[in-house]
Chains A and B, each alone.
Chain A
Amino acid sequence: MPKQIYDVLIVGSGHSGGMAAGVLTQKGLRVLMLNAGPVPDLEKDRVFKPTHELPYRGFGNPNAHLDHVFQANEFNANTWVNEKEVPYSHAPDAPYNWVRVRLLGGRSLFWARQSFRLSDFEFKAANYPGGAGDNWPISLADLDPYYSRVEQQFRVVGRKEGWPQFPDGNFTAGVEGTDSECQKRMTAVANKMGIPVSRMRAALGDNGLASSLNLSIPGALATGKLDIVPNAVVREVTVDKNTGRATGVHFLDRHTRREMHASARVVILAAGTLESTRLLLNSGIANSSGLIGHYLIDQLYGCTVVAAMPEARDGKANPALIGGGLFMPRFRNLGKDEKRNFRGGYCLPMGTGSTPDAKYFPEYGPALQKKLDSYAGACITGGIYGEVLPRYENHVRINKSQQDAWGIPTLHIEARYGENERNLCKDAADTMEELYKACGFEILVKSDKVNPPGYSIHELGTCRMGDDPKKSVLNKWNQSHDIKNLLVVDGSAFVTGGWQNPTMTILALSMRASEHLAEEMGKGNL
């Protein structure tokens, strides 16, 4: 007999795992959380330092720097997964930026806190001529009450607009400043072009941190029902051959490599999209559909268009003239008669009042400084968060010829953007250029290129949910079609990715799945 049999075992401690632990312990269930890395202490593990005190003056150790993790720098170099310990592979011509954190709290410690709901343009994409993908088995109405509670917990601020492609949330009251002249002009011109303009929606969290480490896990621990084992690298989900039910997981101690088995009535995977999928593939379970690993999606980040407001140049920039951000939610492929050479949509997040990067000017020395002084505070920067089509061929699989430091086979990632994404980006860059020119701005830089897949750190799909077990991995409650006491509550379940930061949706799905799970366990159905 196992030493202990927990009600629920959760693999992972980020947003989705933390939410599941919070919900389930509040319902009185005994939960074990396994996390592959250590517990950070935000007071002791971080110190303020000027860049010149760092060994490499902020460049980072050139031999340890993660070039493909664009968010990595010398200040946070100790937080990312050591890729020599946990490598992954991709085709040489198809780079993938897989960004991982194994500290307790995972990537929820570092997200940008941009907080959006998906709309039915994403949940029911197949119902729209320009929709990007298949329908989810749920709609916005199904998730609405969970979004509301998550938004309250995370203290999301935003402006209510009433636009169907940009669903309003349960917002915390925030303070909005007065619009600058630049913001007013851009809004007026954008509206004439049929582009809606709002403001960024963001989670305030607590003291600027909106992580499972401070918002979910402490409450779960306070119930006395949660046990956390750090440095537990999970290798396999175990299944009873007779009943077909999940029984727990095998894990290895990160330091000693000693293997242990933890037992539970229900197993929840919340290790992040690709780690949960890797665990399922390595376990060889729950894949009667053959779809685990397929339909990998993320979001397009890039498309740089930078302009300057002539009136703000040469020292004339001031807060009344220029400054503040604008957020233009999706405006393409919303109408039934709209004809575009791409499906899906994108948003335009924009900032005003910045100084351009020196790299944008082909100058050096005093001439370069003169340019920078002239354009200081006078610039407008725009980029996109764009939708990526879910494609069967974009997938991950186990690389049998490579193992990580614990002897666990690694992941091979095959993800490419296609013509749809290229056309979408071109439309976005052209639209920004048109907008800037109509505002009377000087275009400094225009590029319709985007960063490689994975850059947004919004990897989604690979265990898509659906009603048909032959066409999906999970049901609408994030349960495996094949193994009812196995759930996957992170971004793996997504059917379409949308253009929206997926965190609020991941949290709402995890909350919904966990409450349903507790209910079913209470009824004795699991």
Chain B
Amino acid sequence: MQRRRFVQAVTTAAAAAGTISAQQAPAPAKITTIAPEAAADPTVRFFTAAQFATLKSLSALLQPAANGRPGAIEAGAAEFLDFLIGASPKPRQTLYRSGLDHLDTESRRLFKKPFTEITADQADKILRPLLVPWTFDPPSNPHQRFLADVRADVRTATQNSKEMSQVAATANRRRRGPGGPAPYWLPIDPTR
């Protein structure tokens, strides 16, 4: 085969192959995914079973569902805090663990029952002395500090939950403040 005809043949074959390839390639499919929370339940890994049960009962007292808005239980606040506190520095972990243990110890001392089994009025007798007026610096008493922190954390975990977001969407109002949409900065391309 003369060189010119050989080149022509190869070029034509390549072009034809490219055409066939392009014709046969399926249109790129849009791959959709879902968040893990939509498919699975969180595993409680940080707190002991007793501590987690206390946290769950406490969260229900601190942030109950009301007026069609989800509470801490519906928002999975305790499960989320198990993850968050488990990933936190040691002092915060200690504050939470000792705080939860203290509530249960007090419950058993005062009412001969674990914190999970006492009534709301009985729980109030334990919680009320730990509630102190706001000061710029956090309370120095670790149990008071724990209650101040867990109160804020449960509230935030509830407000920022998907469940709360869905309620806001259903009410057809744009959420502002905690939990609402905001511009999120992606990691900046380090090569730019």
Contact = CB atoms under 8 A, between A and B. Distances in A.
Contacts of A230: 192
Given A52-B161, A52-B179, A363 B131 contact: yes
A52 B36 CA distance: 13
Given A52-B160, A364-B151, 16 more contacts: A39-B192, A48-B182, A49-B184, A50-B179, A50-B181, A56-B84, A57-B157, A58-B160, A58-B178, A59-B157, A74-B184, A77-B185, A78-B188, A231-B190, A362-B133, A447-B135
Contacts of B175: 50
Contacts of A76: 185
Interface in A15-48: 37-41, 44-48
B171 to A, nearest CB: 15
A366 interface: yes
B186 A364 contact: no
A52 B192 contact: no
A127 B172 CA distance: 60
Interface range for A: 35 or more
Nearest to B85: A62
B41 interface: no
A contact face: mostly helix, strand, loop, or mixed:
loop
Interface of A: 37-41, 44-54, 56-59, 61-63, 74-79, 103, 230-231, 254-255, 302, 304, 358-366, 369, 445, 447, 449
A365 B124 CA distance: 10
A472 to B, nearest CB: 37
B116 interface: no
Given A304-B136, A364-B151, A58 B156 contact: yes
A50 B84 contact: no
A48 B136 contact: no
Contacts of B136: 302, 304, 447, 449
Interface string B140-154: 000000001001110
B92 interface: yes
A71 to B, nearest CB: 13
Contact of B162 (A52, A103, A361): A52
Contact of B188 (A51, A75, A103): A103
B118 interface: no
Nearest to A42: B183
Contact of B190 (A49, A56, A58, A255): A255
Contacts of B187: 78
A439 to B, nearest CB: 22
B42 interface: no
B63 A59 contact: no
A59 to B, nearest CB: 6
B62 A48 contact: no
A45 B188 contact: yes
B188 A40 contact: yes
B114 interface: no
10 contacts: A41-B189, A47-B186, A51-B179, A52-B179, A57-B84, A63-B88, A78-B185, A304-B136, A359-B152, A365-B120
B75 to A, nearest CB: 9
Contact of B181 (A49, A61, A74): A49
Contact of B179 (A41, A58, A361): A58
A445 B134 contact: yes
Contacts of B148: 359
A364 B127 contact: yes
Given A50-B180, A359-B134, A62 B87 contact: yes
B184 A75 contact: yes
| Residue of A39, A53, A57, A255 with most partner-chain B CB within 10 A | A57
A38 B89 contact: no
B9 interface: no
B192 A41 contact: yes
Nearest to A79: B185
A78 B131 contact: no
Contact of A38 (B92, B178, B192): B192
A78 B87 contact: no
B66 interface: yes
Contacts of B161: 52, 57
Contacts of B127: 364
Given A358-B155, A365-B61, A57 B160 contact: yes
A46 B80 contact: no
B109 to A, nearest CB: 21
3 shortest A-B CB distances, which residue pairs? A449-B136, A62-B88, A362-B131
Contacts of B51: none
Given A38-B189, A230-B192, A369-B66, A48 B134 contact: no
A38 B152 contact: no
Nearest to A59: B84
Contacts of A39: 192
Nearest to B179: A51
A77 B153 CA distance: 19
| Residue of B80, B165, B188 with most partner-chain A CB within 10 A | B188
A428 to B, nearest CB: 14
A231 B191 CA distance: 8
B132 interface: yes
A231 B188 CA distance: 12
Contacts of A359: 134, 148, 151-152
Contacts of B192: 38-39, 41, 230
A217 B190 CA distance: 20
Nearest to A63: B87
| Residue of A40, A47, A255, A364 with most partner-chain B CB within 10 A | A364
Interface string B112-141: 000000001000000100011111110000
B172 to A, nearest CB: 15
Contacts of A49: 181-182, 184
B165 A46 contact: no
B66 A366 contact: yes
A218 to B, nearest CB: 16
A58 B157 CA distance: 8
Contact of B156 (A59, A79, A302, A449): A59
A63 B186 CA distance: 18
Nearest to B164: A52
B88 to A, nearest CB: 4
Contacts of A50: 165, 175, 179-181
Nearest to A44: B186
Nearest to B163: A52
A76 to B, nearest CB: 5
Nearest to B137: A449
